[in-house]
Chain A
Amino acid sequence: MHIVVCIKQVPDSAQIRVHPVTNTIMRQGVPAIINPYDLFALEEALRLKDQHGGTVTVITMGPPQAEAALRKALSFGADDAILITDRAFAGADTLATSFALASAIRQIQKNMPVDMVFTGKQTIDGDTAQVGPGVAKRLDMQLLTYVSKVVSVKPDKAEIVVERRAEGGVQVLKTRLPCLVTVLDGNNQMRFANMPNMFRAARHPLKRWSREEAGIVDEDIAKIGLKGSPTVVSKVFAPTPKSERAEMIAVESGDPKDLAVTVLAKMFTRFPAVEKEIAKRAQ
């Protein structure tokens, strides 16, 4: 069983800031992490490998420094890693990215058939959730999005059962392989790499694929990078933060007791149910 996991290195959004004048994201000094949803995807893939054996290949498209993300994935237990990196890919939107990734996966398939492609439901920097479906479509794979749990995989029957979070409930879906799965932040937590895997990741001869090596021929050059990206960013702005209405409560006496009474009175007026509940419990 061969699973390809698509990951992306993203700026840690918890630490990101928007430039006050240009409104662009200031990446300088912001640590780069693996997109958290992709980590769930990777862990899900590694668990399947633990159960059924097989190979997990991690790929990413990005600048040379994305190597760090791949090495990290290797340390968790991925078997191989490919960095798809070329200036020609710069400026890609989701359409161009899915074209490039699909092409690279086709190249991988030449050496070893791919049974499943796993990826996060979306990245935390773009938040589009379009690349996964785009890759599935181009590779003509079954598509399972928003998967919270892989229930079972039967390699001999080429069959997968997943739980998919949908509006109003959870769907249990079964489909045939090969398929592409986009993973939610489910109930799995990324494992803590063991030391032999840390050594293996540090020494792994990472593959770096240029556009040609990723199987993109000259005729298709208009389908990748900025040229292959119909998305136009017309305006970027930082929304003004909504201010919650706050009220200063003061009492003339300054006595904490009076203050407490005032606060409670205000609270009970706004939420009468709370008062009833307290009164009930007090009995």
Chain B
Amino acid sequence: MSEKFDAIVVGAGPSGNAAAYTLAKSGLKVLQMERGEYAGSKNVQGAILYADALEKMIPDFRDDAPLERHIIEQRMWVMDDDSFVGTHYRSDGFNKEPFNRYTIIRAQFDKWFSAKVQEAGALVICETTVTDLLRDESNRVVGVQVDRDGGSIYADVVILADGVNSLLARKAGFHPELEPKNVALAVKEIHFMPQETLQERFNIGEEEGVVIELFGKITQGMMGTGFLYTNKESIAVGVGCMLSDFKEQKTTPYALLEQMKNHPSIKPLLAGGEMKEYTAHLIPEGGYKTIPKLYGDGWLIVGDSGMFVNAVHREGSNLAMTTGRIAAETVIDLVKEGKAMTAANLSIYRSRLDGSFVMKDLKKYQEMPEIFDANRQFFTIYPELVNRSAHHMLHVDGVDKKTKEREIFSSFRAKRSLFGLMGDAYKLWRAFR
């Protein structure tokens, strides 16, 4: 007496929840499996919620979703050892509803999202691991096998939303083994402090929030970035670098974070806080070129398992939700048209993604991982040069400004040569174009 569903969604992160929610809302019989104790128990993110992706599914999410602060200011800091050169963008335009970005605490947010999925009518089963996909004689995926007795469950389509380290996709041969150079390892801490202290420190009001992106020598030459986000009464601070770099440099992530927290520009922001949470997670940052095949007979891949992360703009959960939603819409349309879940029919999912911001953005930055990987000067020499130039210019010591300019330029040339500078400018343009 095995069960049969219209669709099975494996995983209860943003992509899985988006898929299960959209499917269930349309009236399909949906089963969602999660190996963690509850939805979100395995999930880690900075975390910024981009309203747009969620709004497309749950327009009134602001009414009851657990949101921390909406972002009104974005800072970008290029770090040297004891200084930074930064840009800040702050706008009262970000204070007009509906707000565009929020900080969230994923443990709370995911519970809320999962409750919505269940309200929509999906059956959510936790603490159960999908160990394999079931196939029929023509190799079509027809269901899943779980790690419990009587654990063969059938469905017309299986959506793999089981995250960056998608064991299922790898086992099924949909996805090659993850390479260390295509995944970042990020670690994060949450420091609690009184709301008033935090607001004073960041010059923000009751509901307002700040994002600080950190780049440069804090990653010790490794390819990666750091971040600092303000929650309601806590600060999330973290850093992530490519796994291959950690391996090569034999640096531990927590040591890197510890050193970053002690940077003279960051330390005062965290002062007096109480660290209550430490988490780590892999982020698929290989970009466009590492996206695996996304569909086949009876299956689709969404979210992190499909490598849908825009590392440049720190977007991931919105790509996850969008791919989950589009996958679900594809299935719903096929059901409506009475079509089978064949690879040919499900290929609409890929073409719809190609037409969306998801693929367009990832395509735009497809060269970036390789360019940055091959040009570490962007993480070391340039942040140092820029910082020292600023220091030199602002240090008043009787030397005239023209001479200072000349000295700064020759410091650049000494480090990178004229050709090197021009080459780097071209590479940077290519990476971002």
Q: Are B149 and A195 in contact (CB under 8 A)?
A: yes
Contact of A195 among B37, B146, B276 (CB under 8 A): B146
Interface size counted on chain B using CB atoms at 8 A: 15
A29 interface contact, C-beta 8 A = yes
- Say whether A253 faces chain B, with CB atoms less than 8 Å apart: no
0 or 1 for each of A186-225: is its CB under 8 Å from B? (1 = yes): 0000001111101100110000000000000000000000
Establish whether residues A198 and B148, one from each chain, have CB atoms under 8 Å apart when the complex forms: yes
**With A202-B123, A202-B125, A203-B123 in contact, is A192–B148 under 8 Å at CB?**
yes
CB distance from A14 to the nearest CB of B (A): 14
A194-B149 in contact (CB<8A): yes
Contacts of B153 in A (CB 8 A): 195
Contact: B123 with A199, CB < 8 Å? Answer: yes
Q: Are B125 and A199 in contact (CB under 8 A)?
A: yes
Q: Could you tell me the distance between the alpha carbons of A196 and B152 in the complex, rounded to whole angstroms?
A: 10
How close is A22's CB to chain B, nearest CB, in angstroms? Answer: 15
Asked if A31 is at the interface (CB within 8 A of a chain B CB), the reply is: yes
Q: Which residues of A contact B151 (CB under 8 A)?
A: 194-195
B259 within 8 A of A: no
| Closest CB in chain A relative to B308 CB, distance in Å | 29
B3 touches A (CB below 8 Å): yes
Find chain B residues with CB under 8 A from A203 CB: 123
Q: B residues within 8 A CB of A29?
A: 107, 276
CA distance A199 to B3 in the complex (A): 9
Interface core residue of A193, A198, A202, A203 (most chain B CB under 10 Å): A198
In the complex, residue of chain A having the shortest beta-carbon distance to the beta carbon of B123 = A202
Q: Interface digits, B139-174 against A, CB 8 Å rule (1 contact, 0 not)? A: 000000010111101000000000000000000000
Answer yes or no: B1 CB below 8 A from chain A CBs: yes
Q: Decide if B128 touches A198 in the complex (CB within 8 Å).
A: yes
Contact between B124 and A202, CB atoms less than 8 A apart: yes
- How far, in angstroms, from A199 to B152 measured CA to CA in the complex? 12
A202 to B148, CA, bound (A): 15
> Is there an interface contact between B37 and A194, defined as CB atoms closer than 8 Å?
no
Q: A29-B107, A192-B148, A193-B148 are in contact. Are A198 and B125 (CB under 8 A)?
A: yes
Contacts of B123 in A (CB 8 A): 199, 202-203
Closest partner residue, chain A, to B147 (CB atom): A192
* B150 CB contacts on chain A under 8 angstroms: 194-196
With CB as the reference atom, state the residue of chain A lying closest to B145.
Answer: A195
Q: How far is the CB of A57 from chain B (nearest CB, A)?
A: 23
The 0/1 profile, CB within 8 Å of A marked 1, for residues 305-347 of chain B is 0000000000000000000000000000000000000000000
A-B contacts, 8 of them at CB < 8 A, read: A194-B149, A194-B150, A195-B128, A195-B146, A199-B123, A202-B123, A202-B124, A202-B125
Interfacial residues, chain A to chain B (CB-CB below 8 A): 29, 31, 192-196, 198-199, 202-203
